[in-house]
A and B are shown apart, each in its own frame.
Chain A
């Protein structure tokens, strides 16, 4: 079923938990280490031993401010930590320290493929321990307990699974480029929980369900498509969607609703008495602001000043990846329009691959200097993405250097005329449209490595001479 062909419109909001890139945990000095020996990085604080108290990690606060700013949020001068009380074996204190009514940042927005997605809030919280289930027992690894997280919550502004994925990709890149989070999904550093409802167009919002256990972008898309289908199916049969947690299997790509009974937990939030309100002074916020990159709108203006059309500038500045590549490449090759053409055509058609700006610039430089043809450049680029080799290496290996020495080319032109006596005669008798044929033949002989204009000149010359 394609929901776009139905009357139903999905409404999606997403909560993302991202692990902040700090060297120590949120409330103690234990090191943050991925894949360390179980329960090696623990202390009385992250184990929640009697009498231990939390002390807030300043770096984590700085990164949360940075995230708020990068998402165009308001940074709240006063935010308050709260206890979220619930009992679970992975929670050593019986409560999680988080922010509830007063988050560190709120009311932001980002552009995703030209569409505005509003960010409701960004708040700081601690991670729980990791449970490892074995056949007849469960083990707990407290290395993960107390890792610093931010939770980023959108307003329900997302209207399709594709847009959900685009939002997540953009968010991931922002967090990575600003060095706020490693944001590697496979490591659990970037976890998302979309909530979704469907309703008939122009209708009211339907009952929403939450999707959990998502470990890949493909999983996000598939699970949402499957959930949209499930909800529409229920409504079409005259039923009602119930509040539920939807689980998704990466293996079977199937979703199923769990715990449909309406039992919402009572977390008994109250202000964390062990931590005073978090007060941020404007100077610090300004300092953090100066450390982050420009926002899309500013970038767009900058690109236009460099000579790009508004349309091109919008496309590039709206993509964090593309604008980053544009800026990095500009530092090496001062040819804004040329770079933008490569980004708009080849880079985008290859799905915005992660390539070093140095190599991208190297390839463009070779094209500008006439060392390789434009077509050869495109081939080099594709190969760079595939093999991660440098453009120089690829040009050498594939023998893509342009043949620019005239003698060799003249020789080839002569051969083509000799090999095609019929066309040769007609051409000499004034059938000028055969020029293209001869250029094509010569280019073929060179393997596309010659400059077509130079070939054209030599063909015309040859015709006049003989």
Chain B
């Protein structure tokens, strides 16, 4: 396994060139896994020619196809954006370019980020590299597969309810959802704006920390981005002293027993390092899924209203103006997105807003308060990342309720705006499984330091292709 710093050391020593690395990455793209919607080989080569110095010099990065790169199609895995080429880059893209990073391509996702399996893509499902009959997780499935199969050293995804962490768990990777506002959302196509956060999927905590140093920080183009100083997230040498970690009992219910024991192994390893554990309770956990659904659907119904095929995207020639738009939306969106737009429109309607949206907003505040209370006693929480390892392709596509089940463990961090990281806990059979750490606002460095500590004590052995 090679880290970003190790590759750069090899570049310096002349053992390999950035072009060699790019070529070997591109060779590892396995079309049968369907990780990419667009491969941007030419763009990557041009990026190398610029030879910008920086923390990501020569490092191939895969980008979820809901983050704009100027001049490269953004599809959001939706037919409704057919032919749309953004005239501007997201702030994170500009920052990666400035640090010398290069882009291997735009990765597959559930349409507009709405799903937990990367099956609901207009461009077909992505497959889990550990077992192609299983899903890679989602919605940032393509970004996870791209890194797991070695076609990119690191990737960006987006996490609205767990979309970075859940595929990281299914693909044996480190997936970070930063604090809301830590990373600029400018240029990320919105799904649930108050929940969306650009996240990172990498092979280890240090790589993820380096990427976070590059992309984090205030952006005047995103009013919700924080002015808080960017820390040295890649310096994970020593974790903080006297750390106490909470184990929220509700998070250990309704999960696979093997998942449970994997997480307990992590607990033991950390106890050996002198970290203490405490059982805590978060009674609102059972409200996370409905609350998340109402808020994210409501915001999605508003965010997706602009897609009418008139100014960009799919042009459907109807009999008149209304008909043209009706057709564009009918042909443009897959059923799950339509379902969420309809439900979201309903929960905001004057007849339902008090019962649904406003109540969800209230419960969201209760959930946040509960996390804050618990964080008075402990530094962070250790939980399973997903209730099970990756599930079979096709198992849940007709069952939206079951598809949402993994969100119970991840969406709380989105509702409360707090950071959470998923990292490999081991293997269950041939499938990887992750654990999750949930932290206080802007405590990314502490979370990554603990992941690093686990890496040193319980090294993950499941990496594919010699990675």
Contacts and interface: CB of A to CB of B under 8 A. Distances in A.
Interface in B39-89: 66-68, 74, 76, 81, 84, 86-88
B328 to A, nearest CB: 13
Given A85-B348, A93-B306, A50 B194 contact: no
Given A51-B189, A273-B194, A268 B310 contact: no
A135 interface: no
B223 A54 contact: yes
Nearest to A43: B88
Nearest to B310: A89
Contacts of A95: 302, 305
Given A268-B348, A270-B298, A270-B348, A50 B84 contact: yes
A89 B223 contact: no
A274 B84 CA distance: 23
Contacts of B135: none
A274 B224 contact: yes
A273 B299 contact: yes
B288 interface: no
Given A50-B81, A89-B321, A276-B223, A266 B349 contact: yes
Interface stretch (B180-188, B255-263, B430-438): B180-188
B306 A276 contact: no
A55 interface: yes
A275 B223 CA distance: 6
B311 A51 contact: no
A275 to B, nearest CB: 5
A268 B349 contact: yes
A268 B299 CA distance: 11
Given A51-B68, A268-B349, A85 B223 contact: no
Contacts of A273: 192-194, 224, 299
A350 interface: no
A165 B67 CA distance: 51
Interface residues of A, number: 27
A9 interface: no
B222 interface: yes
A164 B353 CA distance: 36
A274 B223 contact: yes
A49 interface: yes
A129 to B, nearest CB: 10
B188 A270 contact: no
B350 interface: yes
B252 to A, nearest CB: 32
B139 to A, nearest CB: 16
B28 interface: no
Interface in A303-324: none
A40 interface: no
Interface string A89-130: 100111100000000000000000000000000000000000
A55 B185 CA distance: 12
Nearest to B185: A53
A47 to B, nearest CB: 7
Nearest to B88: A44
A428 to B, nearest CB: 93
A87 interface: yes
Interface in B164-210: 185-190, 192-194
A53 B86 contact: no
B442 interface: no
A93 B74 CA distance: 17
B306 A94 contact: yes
A292 B398 CA distance: 63
Given A51-B189, A268-B345, A268-B348, A85 B302 contact: yes
B152 interface: no
Contacts of B353: 268, 270
Contacts of A139: none
B194 A49 contact: no
B96 interface: no
Interface in B339-362: 345, 348-350, 353, 357
B132 interface: no
A234 interface: no
B189 A93 contact: no
Max chain A Cβ within 10 angstroms of own Cβ: one of B86, B306, B350: B306
Contacts of A270: 298-299, 302, 348, 353, 357
Contacts of A276: 223-224
Contacts of A53: 185-186, 221-224
A51 B224 contact: no
Contact of A92 (B192, B193, B302, B311): B311
B310 A48 contact: no
B24 to A, nearest CB: 31
A179 to B, nearest CB: 26
Contact of B350 (A48, A54, A93, A266): A266
A270 B303 CA distance: 12
Contacts of B223: 53-56, 274-276
A49 B348 CA distance: 23
Interface in B307-331: 308, 310-312, 321
B220 interface: yes
Nearest to A81: B223
Interface in B142-180: none
Contacts of B247: none
B90 interface: yes
A83 interface: yes
12 contacts: A48-B306, A50-B68, A50-B86, A50-B190, A51-B67, A51-B90, A54-B223, A85-B302, A89-B310, A268-B301, A273-B224, A274-B190
Interface of B: 66-68, 74, 76, 81, 84, 86-88, 90, 185-190, 192-194, 220-224, 298-299, 301-302, 304-306, 308, 310-312, 321, 345, 348-350, 353, 357
| Shortest 6 CB-CB contacts between residues of A and residues of B | A94-B305, A273-B194, A268-B348, A273-B193, A50-B189, A51-B187
Given A94-B308, A273-B224, 7 more contacts: A50-B189, A51-B187, A53-B222, A83-B302, A85-B301, A266-B349, A270-B348
